[in-house]
Structure 1
Protein backbone atom coordinates (compact mmCIF):
# COMPACT_ATOMS: atom_id res chain seq x y z
CA UNK A 1 0.00 0.00 0.00
CA UNK A 2 1.28 3.46 -0.80
CA UNK A 3 2.64 5.44 2.12
CA UNK A 4 1.68 8.74 0.50
CA UNK A 5 -1.07 10.45 2.48
CA UNK A 6 -4.04 12.20 0.90
CA UNK A 7 -2.55 15.66 1.33
CA UNK A 8 0.74 14.62 -0.23
CA UNK A 9 -1.10 12.94 -3.10
CA UNK A 10 -2.99 16.17 -3.81
CA UNK A 11 0.19 18.26 -3.59
CA UNK A 12 1.94 15.93 -6.04
CA UNK A 13 -0.90 16.36 -8.52
CA UNK A 14 -0.87 20.13 -8.07
CA UNK A 15 2.89 20.10 -8.66
CA UNK A 16 2.29 18.38 -11.99
CA UNK A 17 -0.03 21.21 -13.01
CA UNK A 18 2.52 23.79 -11.86
CA UNK A 19 5.23 22.06 -13.89
CA UNK A 20 2.96 21.97 -16.94
CA UNK A 21 2.43 25.73 -16.95
CA UNK A 22 6.00 26.44 -15.82
CA UNK A 23 7.34 27.34 -19.25
CA UNK A 24 7.14 30.64 -21.12
CA UNK A 25 6.17 29.00 -24.41
CA UNK A 26 3.33 27.07 -22.80
CA UNK A 27 2.00 30.21 -21.14
CA UNK A 28 1.98 31.90 -24.54
CA UNK A 29 0.15 28.95 -26.07
CA UNK A 30 -2.46 29.16 -23.32
CA UNK A 31 -2.99 32.86 -24.09
CA UNK A 32 -3.69 31.99 -27.73
CA UNK A 33 -5.95 29.04 -26.90
CA UNK A 34 -7.90 31.22 -24.46
CA UNK A 35 -9.16 33.26 -27.44
CA UNK A 36 -10.85 30.17 -28.92
CA UNK A 37 -10.08 26.65 -30.10
CA UNK A 38 -6.89 26.44 -32.15
CA UNK A 39 -5.24 23.82 -34.32
CA UNK A 40 -1.61 22.81 -33.93
CA UNK A 41 -0.91 24.48 -37.27
CA UNK A 42 -2.47 27.76 -36.09
CA UNK A 43 -0.55 27.68 -32.82
CA UNK A 44 2.70 26.92 -34.62
CA UNK A 45 2.26 30.01 -36.79
CA UNK A 46 1.23 32.23 -33.88
CA UNK A 47 4.03 31.15 -31.55
CA UNK A 48 6.85 31.02 -34.07
CA UNK A 49 7.91 27.61 -32.76
CA UNK A 50 8.41 24.54 -34.87
CA UNK A 51 5.50 22.18 -35.37
CA UNK A 52 7.28 19.52 -33.30
CA UNK A 53 7.91 21.86 -30.36
CA UNK A 54 4.36 23.19 -30.44
CA UNK A 55 2.98 19.65 -30.40
CA UNK A 56 5.27 18.66 -27.53
CA UNK A 57 4.19 21.62 -25.38
CA UNK A 58 0.53 20.92 -26.14
CA UNK A 59 0.89 17.29 -25.09
CA UNK A 60 2.36 18.38 -21.75
CA UNK A 61 -0.60 20.71 -21.19
CA UNK A 62 -3.04 18.00 -22.25
CA UNK A 63 -1.55 15.42 -19.88
CA UNK A 64 -2.05 17.89 -17.03
CA UNK A 65 -5.65 18.35 -18.28
CA UNK A 66 -5.15 22.08 -18.73
CA UNK A 67 -6.14 21.81 -22.38
CA UNK A 68 -8.25 19.27 -24.21
CA UNK A 69 -8.20 18.20 -27.83
CA UNK A 70 -10.86 17.37 -30.40
CA UNK A 71 -10.35 16.01 -33.88
CA UNK A 72 -12.22 17.77 -36.69
CA UNK A 73 -11.46 16.06 -39.98
CA UNK A 74 -7.70 16.08 -40.44
CA UNK A 75 -7.16 18.79 -37.84
CA UNK A 76 -6.83 18.49 -34.07
CA UNK A 77 -8.20 21.51 -32.21
CA UNK A 78 -7.07 22.46 -28.71
CA UNK A 79 -9.21 24.37 -26.22
CA UNK A 80 -8.94 25.19 -22.54
CA UNK A 81 -10.29 22.60 -20.13
CA UNK A 82 -12.40 24.39 -17.49
CA UNK A 83 -11.76 27.72 -19.17
CA UNK A 84 -12.68 30.00 -16.25
CA UNK A 85 -10.43 28.14 -13.80
CA UNK A 86 -7.43 28.10 -16.16
CA UNK A 87 -7.81 31.82 -16.91
CA UNK A 88 -8.05 32.54 -13.18
CA UNK A 89 -4.93 30.46 -12.53
CA UNK A 90 -2.88 32.35 -15.10
CA UNK A 91 -4.21 35.67 -13.80
CA UNK A 92 -3.23 34.74 -10.23
CA UNK A 93 0.24 33.75 -11.43
CA UNK A 94 0.63 37.17 -13.02
CA UNK A 95 -0.52 38.96 -9.88
CA UNK A 96 2.00 37.10 -7.72
CA UNK A 97 4.72 37.78 -10.26
CA UNK A 98 3.97 41.50 -10.44
CA UNK A 99 4.09 41.72 -6.65
CA UNK A 100 7.22 39.65 -6.06
CA UNK A 101 9.50 39.86 -9.08
CA UNK A 102 11.40 43.06 -9.80
CA UNK A 103 11.96 42.14 -13.45
CA UNK A 104 8.23 42.03 -14.11
CA UNK A 105 7.81 45.38 -12.40
CA UNK A 106 10.55 46.85 -14.57
CA UNK A 107 8.95 45.60 -17.78
CA UNK A 108 5.53 46.86 -16.67
CA UNK A 109 6.95 50.32 -15.99
CA UNK A 110 9.25 50.57 -19.00
CA UNK A 111 6.85 49.23 -21.60
CA UNK A 112 3.24 49.01 -20.50
CA UNK A 113 2.93 51.98 -18.15
CA UNK A 114 5.02 54.14 -20.47
CA UNK A 115 2.31 53.70 -23.10
CA UNK A 116 -0.66 54.00 -20.77
CA UNK A 117 -0.45 55.05 -17.14
CA UNK A 118 -4.16 55.85 -16.81
CA UNK A 119 -6.40 53.65 -14.70
CA UNK A 120 -7.95 51.02 -16.98
CA UNK A 121 -11.69 50.50 -17.33
CA UNK A 122 -13.03 47.68 -15.15
CA UNK A 123 -15.14 44.90 -16.62
CA UNK A 124 -18.15 45.98 -14.53
CA UNK A 125 -17.80 49.60 -15.71
CA UNK A 126 -17.48 48.54 -19.35
CA UNK A 127 -20.50 46.22 -19.11
CA UNK A 128 -22.55 49.14 -17.78
CA UNK A 129 -21.29 51.52 -20.44
CA UNK A 130 -22.00 48.97 -23.19
CA UNK A 131 -25.58 48.70 -21.91
CA UNK A 132 -25.91 52.50 -21.88
CA UNK A 133 -24.18 53.05 -25.21
CA UNK A 134 -21.72 55.54 -23.71
CA UNK A 135 -18.53 53.94 -25.02
CA UNK A 136 -17.22 52.45 -28.24
CA UNK A 137 -15.72 49.05 -27.53
CA UNK A 138 -12.77 48.28 -29.79
CA UNK A 139 -11.42 44.76 -30.22
CA UNK A 140 -7.92 45.01 -31.73
CA UNK A 141 -7.28 41.27 -32.02
CA UNK A 142 -7.08 39.51 -35.41
CA UNK A 143 -10.40 38.93 -37.15
CA UNK A 144 -10.49 35.17 -36.55
CA UNK A 145 -10.15 35.65 -32.79
CA UNK A 146 -12.90 38.27 -32.85
CA UNK A 147 -15.16 35.88 -34.76
CA UNK A 148 -14.61 33.14 -32.17
CA UNK A 149 -15.89 35.40 -29.40
CA UNK A 150 -15.97 39.05 -28.38
CA UNK A 151 -17.53 41.62 -26.06
CA UNK A 152 -21.10 42.36 -27.21
CA UNK A 153 -21.27 45.30 -29.57
CA UNK A 154 -17.49 45.50 -30.00
CA UNK A 155 -16.04 46.71 -33.27
CA UNK A 156 -13.13 44.75 -34.67
CA UNK A 157 -10.25 46.77 -36.08
CA UNK A 158 -6.98 44.80 -35.83
CA UNK A 159 -4.11 46.95 -34.62
CA UNK A 160 -2.29 46.81 -37.95
CA UNK A 161 -5.34 48.37 -39.67
CA UNK A 162 -6.19 50.95 -37.02
CA UNK A 163 -4.57 54.04 -38.52
CA UNK A 164 -6.23 53.67 -41.92
CA UNK A 165 -9.65 52.87 -40.39
CA UNK A 166 -9.92 55.67 -37.83
CA UNK A 167 -12.85 57.14 -39.75
CA UNK A 168 -14.95 54.14 -38.65
CA UNK A 169 -14.88 55.37 -35.05
CA UNK A 170 -17.60 57.90 -34.14
CA UNK A 171 -16.32 61.22 -32.86
CA UNK A 172 -16.97 62.49 -29.36
CA UNK A 173 -17.33 59.07 -27.71
CA UNK A 174 -14.59 57.47 -25.63
CA UNK A 175 -13.06 54.31 -27.08
CA UNK A 176 -12.31 51.37 -24.78
CA UNK A 177 -9.86 48.94 -26.36
CA UNK A 178 -9.10 45.36 -25.39
CA UNK A 179 -7.15 42.41 -26.72
CA UNK A 180 -5.95 38.99 -25.53
CA UNK A 181 -5.19 39.58 -21.86
CA UNK A 182 -3.37 41.71 -19.29
CA UNK A 183 0.06 41.33 -20.96
CA UNK A 184 -1.11 41.60 -24.55
CA UNK A 185 0.52 44.68 -26.09
CA UNK A 186 -2.15 45.25 -28.74
CA UNK A 187 -4.53 47.27 -26.56
CA UNK A 188 -1.70 49.39 -25.13
CA UNK A 189 -0.44 50.19 -28.62
CA UNK A 190 -3.97 50.95 -29.83
CA UNK A 191 -4.68 53.35 -26.96
CA UNK A 192 -1.37 55.16 -27.54
CA UNK A 193 -2.12 55.45 -31.27
CA UNK A 194 -5.65 56.75 -30.69
CA UNK A 195 -4.54 59.35 -28.18
CA UNK A 196 -1.84 60.52 -30.59
CA UNK A 197 -4.69 61.29 -33.01
CA UNK A 198 -6.59 63.24 -30.36
CA UNK A 199 -9.14 60.48 -29.69
CA UNK A 200 -10.20 59.82 -26.10
CA UNK A 201 -9.22 56.22 -25.40
CA UNK A 202 -8.71 53.86 -22.49
CA UNK A 203 -8.13 50.14 -22.24
CA UNK A 204 -10.00 47.36 -20.52
CA UNK A 205 -8.34 46.14 -17.33
CA UNK A 206 -7.46 42.78 -18.90
CA UNK A 207 -8.72 40.99 -22.02
CA UNK A 208 -11.42 38.92 -23.65
CA UNK A 209 -10.63 35.62 -21.85
CA UNK A 210 -11.05 37.31 -18.46
CA UNK A 211 -14.31 38.91 -19.64
CA UNK A 212 -15.70 35.53 -20.65
CA UNK A 213 -14.36 33.79 -17.52
CA UNK A 214 -16.25 36.34 -15.40
CA UNK A 215 -19.50 35.05 -16.87
CA UNK A 216 -20.25 38.22 -18.84
CA UNK A 217 -22.17 38.13 -22.10
CA UNK A 218 -20.25 37.13 -25.21
CA UNK A 219 -21.03 37.35 -28.92
CA UNK A 220 -19.51 35.26 -31.69
CA UNK A 221 -19.68 34.91 -35.46
CA UNK A 222 -19.87 31.43 -36.94
Structure 2
Protein backbone atom coordinates (compact mmCIF):
# COMPACT_ATOMS: atom_id res chain seq x y z
CA UNK A 1 0.00 0.00 0.00
CA UNK A 2 1.24 3.49 -0.81
CA UNK A 3 1.94 6.23 1.72
CA UNK A 4 -1.43 7.78 0.87
CA UNK A 5 -3.26 4.56 1.68
CA UNK A 6 -3.96 3.82 -1.99
CA UNK A 7 -3.17 0.26 -3.01
CA UNK A 8 -5.41 -0.75 -5.91
CA UNK A 9 -4.14 -3.83 -7.78
CA UNK A 10 -3.22 -1.94 -10.95
CA UNK A 11 -1.11 0.64 -9.11
CA UNK A 12 2.16 -0.64 -10.56
CA UNK A 13 0.87 -0.27 -14.11
CA UNK A 14 -0.40 3.24 -13.51
CA UNK A 15 2.86 4.15 -11.81
CA UNK A 16 4.82 3.23 -14.93
CA UNK A 17 2.31 5.04 -17.15
CA UNK A 18 2.80 8.04 -14.90
CA UNK A 19 6.53 7.93 -15.57
CA UNK A 20 5.89 8.27 -19.29
CA UNK A 21 3.45 11.11 -18.63
CA UNK A 22 6.02 12.84 -16.44
CA UNK A 23 8.61 12.59 -19.22
CA UNK A 24 6.18 14.45 -21.49
CA UNK A 25 5.40 17.09 -18.86
CA UNK A 26 8.02 19.58 -20.02
CA UNK A 27 7.86 22.16 -22.82
CA UNK A 28 11.54 21.59 -23.60
CA UNK A 29 11.19 17.83 -23.85
CA UNK A 30 8.09 18.16 -26.04
CA UNK A 31 10.01 20.53 -28.31
CA UNK A 32 12.93 18.10 -28.56
CA UNK A 33 10.57 15.27 -29.49
CA UNK A 34 8.95 17.39 -32.19
CA UNK A 35 12.35 18.22 -33.67
CA UNK A 36 13.37 14.56 -33.68
CA UNK A 37 10.23 13.60 -35.57
CA UNK A 38 11.86 14.25 -38.95
CA UNK A 39 15.15 12.51 -38.23
CA UNK A 40 18.01 11.93 -35.83
CA UNK A 41 20.27 14.67 -34.56
CA UNK A 42 23.26 15.05 -32.29
CA UNK A 43 22.91 16.75 -28.93
CA UNK A 44 24.63 19.81 -30.39
CA UNK A 45 22.21 19.97 -33.32
CA UNK A 46 19.22 19.55 -31.04
CA UNK A 47 20.44 22.28 -28.71
CA UNK A 48 20.86 24.68 -31.64
CA UNK A 49 17.49 23.83 -33.21
CA UNK A 50 15.61 24.06 -29.90
CA UNK A 51 17.48 27.18 -28.69
CA UNK A 52 18.33 25.42 -25.44
CA UNK A 53 21.79 25.26 -23.90
CA UNK A 54 23.79 22.09 -24.43
CA UNK A 55 23.84 20.91 -20.80
CA UNK A 56 20.08 21.25 -20.41
CA UNK A 57 19.44 19.53 -23.74
CA UNK A 58 21.57 16.58 -22.67
CA UNK A 59 19.76 16.33 -19.32
CA UNK A 60 16.33 16.39 -20.97
CA UNK A 61 17.36 13.71 -23.45
CA UNK A 62 18.37 11.41 -20.61
CA UNK A 63 14.87 11.71 -19.14
CA UNK A 64 13.31 10.95 -22.53
CA UNK A 65 15.65 8.02 -23.00
CA UNK A 66 14.78 6.59 -19.57
CA UNK A 67 11.11 6.74 -20.57
CA UNK A 68 12.01 4.91 -23.82
CA UNK A 69 10.72 7.79 -25.94
CA UNK A 70 14.08 8.35 -27.63
CA UNK A 71 17.02 6.13 -28.50
CA UNK A 72 20.62 6.94 -29.27
CA UNK A 73 23.56 5.58 -31.20
CA UNK A 74 27.18 6.44 -30.63
CA UNK A 75 29.40 7.58 -33.49
CA UNK A 76 32.86 8.22 -32.08
CA UNK A 77 32.49 10.84 -29.38
CA UNK A 78 29.05 11.93 -30.55
CA UNK A 79 25.65 10.44 -29.77
CA UNK A 80 22.91 10.72 -32.36
CA UNK A 81 19.36 10.71 -30.97
CA UNK A 82 16.14 9.66 -32.68
CA UNK A 83 12.57 8.83 -31.69
CA UNK A 84 12.46 5.34 -30.22
CA UNK A 85 9.82 4.20 -32.74
CA UNK A 86 7.17 5.35 -35.19
CA UNK A 87 4.68 4.90 -32.35
CA UNK A 88 6.25 7.87 -30.55
CA UNK A 89 5.57 10.08 -33.57
CA UNK A 90 1.98 8.83 -33.69
CA UNK A 91 1.57 9.54 -29.97
CA UNK A 92 2.86 13.09 -30.44
CA UNK A 93 0.44 13.68 -33.28
CA UNK A 94 -2.56 12.56 -31.23
CA UNK A 95 -1.36 14.61 -28.25
CA UNK A 96 -0.98 17.82 -30.27
CA UNK A 97 -4.29 17.42 -32.10
CA UNK A 98 -6.24 16.55 -28.96
CA UNK A 99 -4.78 19.49 -27.05
CA UNK A 100 -5.43 22.02 -29.80
CA UNK A 101 -8.95 20.76 -30.52
CA UNK A 102 -10.15 20.20 -26.95
CA UNK A 103 -8.18 22.38 -24.54
CA UNK A 104 -9.28 26.01 -24.74
CA UNK A 105 -6.02 27.43 -23.37
CA UNK A 106 -3.95 25.58 -25.98
CA UNK A 107 -6.30 26.59 -28.78
CA UNK A 108 -6.11 30.24 -27.69
CA UNK A 109 -2.30 30.19 -27.61
CA UNK A 110 -2.15 28.65 -31.09
CA UNK A 111 -4.62 31.17 -32.51
CA UNK A 112 -2.69 34.07 -31.00
CA UNK A 113 0.61 32.70 -32.29
CA UNK A 114 -0.69 32.47 -35.86
CA UNK A 115 -2.89 35.58 -35.71
CA UNK A 116 -0.79 37.41 -38.29
CA UNK A 117 -1.62 34.70 -40.82
CA UNK A 118 -5.26 34.14 -39.88
CA UNK A 119 -6.37 34.98 -43.43
CA UNK A 120 -4.69 31.83 -44.75
CA UNK A 121 -6.43 28.45 -44.70
CA UNK A 122 -3.76 25.77 -44.32
CA UNK A 123 -3.92 22.31 -45.82
CA UNK A 124 -3.87 19.22 -43.64
CA UNK A 125 -1.35 16.48 -44.39
CA UNK A 126 -4.17 14.34 -45.79
CA UNK A 127 -5.30 17.14 -48.12
CA UNK A 128 -1.73 17.66 -49.31
CA UNK A 129 -1.41 13.95 -50.07
CA UNK A 130 -4.48 14.05 -52.32
CA UNK A 131 -3.15 17.16 -54.11
CA UNK A 132 0.21 15.50 -54.73
CA UNK A 133 -1.56 12.68 -56.51
CA UNK A 134 -3.25 14.97 -59.05
CA UNK A 135 -0.14 17.07 -59.77
CA UNK A 136 -1.94 20.39 -59.37
CA UNK A 137 0.44 21.89 -56.81
CA UNK A 138 4.07 22.79 -56.34
CA UNK A 139 5.37 21.98 -52.85
CA UNK A 140 8.24 24.04 -51.46
CA UNK A 141 10.30 23.27 -48.37
CA UNK A 142 11.24 26.58 -46.73
CA UNK A 143 13.46 25.06 -44.03
CA UNK A 144 17.25 25.47 -44.14
CA UNK A 145 18.73 23.39 -46.95
CA UNK A 146 20.51 20.92 -44.66
CA UNK A 147 17.14 19.98 -43.14
CA UNK A 148 15.69 19.44 -46.61
CA UNK A 149 18.61 17.17 -47.47
CA UNK A 150 18.04 15.14 -44.29
CA UNK A 151 14.50 14.34 -45.40
CA UNK A 152 11.63 16.08 -47.19
CA UNK A 153 8.12 15.49 -48.50
CA UNK A 154 8.34 13.59 -51.82
CA UNK A 155 8.44 15.92 -54.80
CA UNK A 156 9.11 19.07 -52.76
CA UNK A 157 11.78 21.52 -53.87
CA UNK A 158 14.06 23.40 -51.49
CA UNK A 159 13.63 27.18 -51.26
CA UNK A 160 14.70 28.39 -47.81
CA UNK A 161 12.56 31.28 -46.60
CA UNK A 162 15.43 33.75 -46.81
CA UNK A 163 15.87 32.94 -50.51
CA UNK A 164 12.20 33.03 -51.50
CA UNK A 165 12.14 36.52 -53.01
CA UNK A 166 15.00 35.81 -55.38
CA UNK A 167 13.15 32.75 -56.70
CA UNK A 168 9.75 34.40 -57.18
CA UNK A 169 10.09 34.97 -60.92
CA UNK A 170 10.84 31.28 -61.48
CA UNK A 171 7.78 30.07 -59.61
CA UNK A 172 4.73 29.12 -61.71
CA UNK A 173 1.58 31.22 -61.82
CA UNK A 174 -0.69 28.38 -62.96
CA UNK A 175 -0.21 25.99 -60.02
CA UNK A 176 -1.00 26.36 -56.35
CA UNK A 177 2.15 26.67 -54.24
CA UNK A 178 2.16 24.84 -50.91
CA UNK A 179 4.87 25.74 -48.39
CA UNK A 180 5.88 23.75 -45.35
CA UNK A 181 8.44 24.09 -42.59
CA UNK A 182 9.57 22.07 -39.58
CA UNK A 183 7.06 21.69 -36.79
CA UNK A 184 3.49 22.37 -35.73
CA UNK A 185 4.31 25.89 -34.53
CA UNK A 186 6.81 26.96 -37.16
CA UNK A 187 5.85 30.29 -38.76
CA UNK A 188 8.26 30.11 -41.72
CA UNK A 189 5.75 28.43 -44.03
CA UNK A 190 2.79 30.77 -43.32
CA UNK A 191 5.22 33.68 -43.76
CA UNK A 192 6.27 32.23 -47.11
CA UNK A 193 2.65 31.73 -48.17
CA UNK A 194 1.85 35.34 -47.27
CA UNK A 195 4.82 36.61 -49.31
CA UNK A 196 3.72 34.47 -52.25
CA UNK A 197 0.19 35.84 -52.02
CA UNK A 198 1.54 39.39 -52.19
CA UNK A 199 3.41 38.31 -55.34
CA UNK A 200 0.09 37.21 -56.87
CA UNK A 201 0.64 33.49 -56.39
CA UNK A 202 -2.10 31.14 -55.25
CA UNK A 203 -0.51 29.82 -52.07
CA UNK A 204 -1.00 28.32 -48.63
CA UNK A 205 0.94 26.18 -46.18
CA UNK A 206 0.81 22.74 -44.56
CA UNK A 207 -0.80 22.76 -41.12
CA UNK A 208 1.77 21.31 -38.73
CA UNK A 209 4.64 21.28 -41.21
CA UNK A 210 6.69 18.22 -41.95
CA UNK A 211 5.95 16.78 -38.50
CA UNK A 212 2.23 16.54 -39.28
CA UNK A 213 3.13 14.78 -42.52
CA UNK A 214 5.10 12.20 -40.54
CA UNK A 215 2.42 11.94 -37.83
CA UNK A 216 -0.06 11.01 -40.57
CA UNK A 217 2.21 8.20 -41.80
CA UNK A 218 3.80 10.09 -44.68
CA UNK A 219 7.22 8.99 -45.86
CA UNK A 220 10.23 11.23 -46.53
CA UNK A 221 12.72 11.40 -49.36
CA UNK A 222 16.40 12.22 -48.90
CA UNK A 223 18.34 14.50 -51.20
TM over 0.5: yes
TM-score range, shorter chain: 0.7 to 0.9
Find the residue that maps to 2:208 and give its secondary structure.
Answer: strand
Instruction: Write the deviation string for residues 134-180 of structure 1: whole angstroms up to 9, x where unpaired.
Output: 10011111222211211111011112222222234222211111122
Return 5+ residue gaps in structure 2 as ranges: none
Find the residue that maps to 2:175 and give its secondary structure.
Answer: coil
The two structures have a TM-score, normalised by structure 1, of 0.88
- Aligned 8 A contact 1:116 1:192 in 2: no
Whole-Å separation in 2 of the counterparts to 1:96 and 1:216: 20
Matches within 5 A, 1:36-51: 36-51=39-54
Return 5+ residue gaps in structure 1 as ranges: none
Equivalent in the alignment of 1:80:
83
Equivalent in the alignment of 2:204:
202
Aligned residues: 220
Whole-Å separation in 1 of the counterparts to 2:93 and 2:147: 20
In 2 relative to 1, CA 190–116 (structure 1 residues): closer, same or farther, beyond 3 Å? farther
Whole-Å separation in 2 of the counterparts to 1:71 and 1:153: 32
In 2 relative to 1, CA 29–118 (structure 1 residues): closer, same or farther, beyond 3 Å? same
In 2 relative to 1, CA 191–4 (structure 1 residues): closer, same or farther, beyond 3 Å? same
- Aligned 8 A contact 2:177 2:204 in 1: yes
In 2 relative to 1, CA 204–171 (structure 1 residues): closer, same or farther, beyond 3 Å? same
Whole-Å separation in 2 of the counterparts to 1:132 and 1:56: 46
Instruction: Write the deviation string for residues 73-115 of structure 1: whole angstroms up to 9, x where unpaired.
Output: 22110000113x2223223332333245444333333331430
In 2 relative to 1, CA 105–127 (structure 1 residues): closer, same or farther, beyond 3 Å? closer
The two structures have a TM-score, normalised by structure 2, of 0.87
Equivalent in the alignment of 2:19:
16
Whole-Å separation in 1 of the counterparts to 2:74 and 2:170: 39
Whole-Å separation in 2 of the counterparts to 1:202 and 1:48: 27
